[in-house]
Amino acid sequence: MPQRRRVLLLATGGPHALHEGVATYAREQNWILDCRMSYTGQVPDGTGADGVLCGHVPRADVTGLVRGLSVPVVGLGICGNGVPSCVSCCDESIGRAAARHLLDRGYRSLAFCRQRDTEQEALRLKGFQAQVEAAGERFVSLAPPDGAPASGSAASMREWIAPMLSTLRVPIAVMVGDDLDAISLVDALVGCGYSVPEQVAVISAGNDPILCDVAPVAVSSVDVRSRDVGYEGARLLDQLIDGRPRPAQPVLVEPGPVHTRVSTDIMALPNLHAARALRFIWTRYRSPINVDSVSAHVPVTRRRLQTLFHDHLGRTMQEEIARVRIADACLMLKKSKMRIREIATLTGFKSSLHFHRTSQSVLEMGPKAFRETGSIPDFGVLPAQVGDQLPVA
């Protein structure tokens, strides 16, 4: 029976999915995986290791161990610690993906908020700026002035970001380097009196649900495919242990999609009343709302709100309610076996007849005919919750 390979995982934190990717490969290859450092913080001595996977641990004892070993080493997520080979998500592509997400929502002023002077953040900024400028839109750099703390509490951040934001016209969209810094940014924005996302949209990278889902405002984030980075890093290490030559450049994994949450779940509208009306529709369209209930939520007259909404979005509030309901219903008709009456109820229609009439108006056919012969049209940008009631495959 061949001897099992023993691999060290040197990490003290980082995305749980990264460790899951490593563990998945280790199970497939019958490795012995020593990941105790992730739980104890103590660096093992490396005795008997056939290879090492190293997360970003900026500690001298880790760097010393890595440099002193005569076995292959692969870095995960961020290159460093003296590791010659690494696997990481492509940071420039992460920045580009975030910018495309915001541009699709109509933003014309897009900023990158720098909080950490790292190569990873610089590359994400580079991709973000390139995508914004390629679209012909305005790029803004936000960074603490010289001498100010690069990161920290929301209170300290408010001191330097507030005067910068006061020179910019809303709506504006801001990318920040990672999910942890996004929480500080959202806190600072709210503390400055801005509405997120109606006035300032925020996007980050990492898509860590522990951070993004329970932030003061749930944060949209680019999926950096941490599980795939861990798995591919383990695969590369296996190849190096086999004696294959190490790659001349870092192995880059392309990012996954943006996971839309509240912080960007809107279209860029320069009027706050219209933006709040849109947010009300997007979050409550599955309830029995109408133009009157939307108007009651916004402190202007019904007629004035109707004018503002149409002027800034190009359609009426009633048309928008119908659009998002039908978009949601189309997915259910095509991707589930739910009854038409059930779909009508789930997507906010008062009755099957109301559903049928709206379908005829928007799709030029009823729900039954659409299910049998129709194809889902391009509805444009939709609320994040559209489609989330589909049965799990």
Q: For residue 253, which of 21, 93, 54, 84 has the smallest C-alpha distance?
A: 93
pLDDT in tens, 166-198: 999 999 999 999 999 999 999 999 999 999 999
Question: Could you tell me the CA-to-CA distances from 297 to 138, 292, 307, 323, 383 in Å, in that order?
Answer: 32, 9, 16, 20, 19
What rounded mean pLDDT belongs to the chain?
Answer: 92
CA dist., res. 250 & res. 67, Å (int): 18
In the predicted structure, residue 150 carries a pLDDT above the cut 70: no
69-102 burial, b at 16+ Cβ within 10 Å, e below that, comes to eebbbbbbbbbbbebebbbbbbbbbbbbbbbebb
Percent of the chain exceeding pLDDT 90 equals 78
| pLDDT-based confidence at residue 112 (cuts at 50, 70, 90) | very high
Neighbours of 114 (CB within 10 A): 20
User: Strand 220-222 relative to strand 200-205: parallel, antiparallel, unpaired?
Assistant: parallel
- State pLDDT tens for residues 39-73: 888 888 888 899 999 987 778 888 888 888 889 99
**pLDDT computed for residue 61 by the predictor:** 84
Helix (H) or strand (E) holding 45: none
- Architecture in CATH of 6-90+226-256: 3-Layer(aba) Sandwich (3.40)
Mean pLDDT within 368-378: 95
CA distance 329 to 43: 54
Q: Among candidates 147, 137, 132, which has minimal Cα distance to 203?
A: 132
Cα angle at 374 between 372 and 379, to 5 degrees?
140
Estimate the crossing angle of helix 16-29 against helix 226-241, to 10 degrees: 40
**Intervals of CATH 3.40.50.2300 along the chain:** 6-90+226-256, 91-224+259-264
Q: Is the pLDDT of residue 327 over 80?
A: yes
Sheet order of strands, 258-259 included? 138-142, 109-113, 172-176, 200-205, 220-222, 258-259
Residue 79 has pLDDT above 80, yes or no: no
Percent helix, strand, coil in the chain (nearest 5)?
45, 15, 40
Cβ contact 321:333 at 8 Å = no
pLDDT tens digits, 198-227: 999 999 999 999 999 998 999 999 999 999
The answer to whether domain 91-224+259-264 has CATH 3.40.50.2300 is: yes
The residue-averaged pLDDT of 358-374 equals 96
List the one residue out of 105, 218, 212, 113 whose CA is nearest residue 162. 113
Which whole number is the average pLDDT over 143-161? 76
> Within the chain, how many helices (H) and strands (E) appear?
16, 12
Q: Which one, of 328, 243, 252, lies nearest residue 285 by Cα? A: 328
Query: Which ranges of the chain does DSSP label H, i.e. alpha helix?
Result: 16-29, 37-40, 60-68, 91-104, 119-134, 154-165, 179-191, 209-212, 226-241, 272-284, 291-297, 302-313, 317-335, 340-346, 352-363, 367-373
Q: Are 90 and 97 in contact (CB under 8 A)?
A: no
Does position 151 have pLDDT exceeding 60, yes or no? Answer: no
Residue 229 pLDDT level (bands cut at 50, 70, 90)? very high
DSSP labels, 143-162: -PPTTS-SS--HHHHHHHHH
Q: Which of left, alpha, beta for 242 (phi over 0: left; psi -120 to 50: alpha)?
A: alpha
Predicted local confidence at residue 62, as pLDDT: 83
State the span(s) of the chain assigned CATH 1.10.10.60: 272-373
Q: Which CATH class is domain 272-373?
A: mainly alpha
Average pLDDT estimate for 241-268: 95
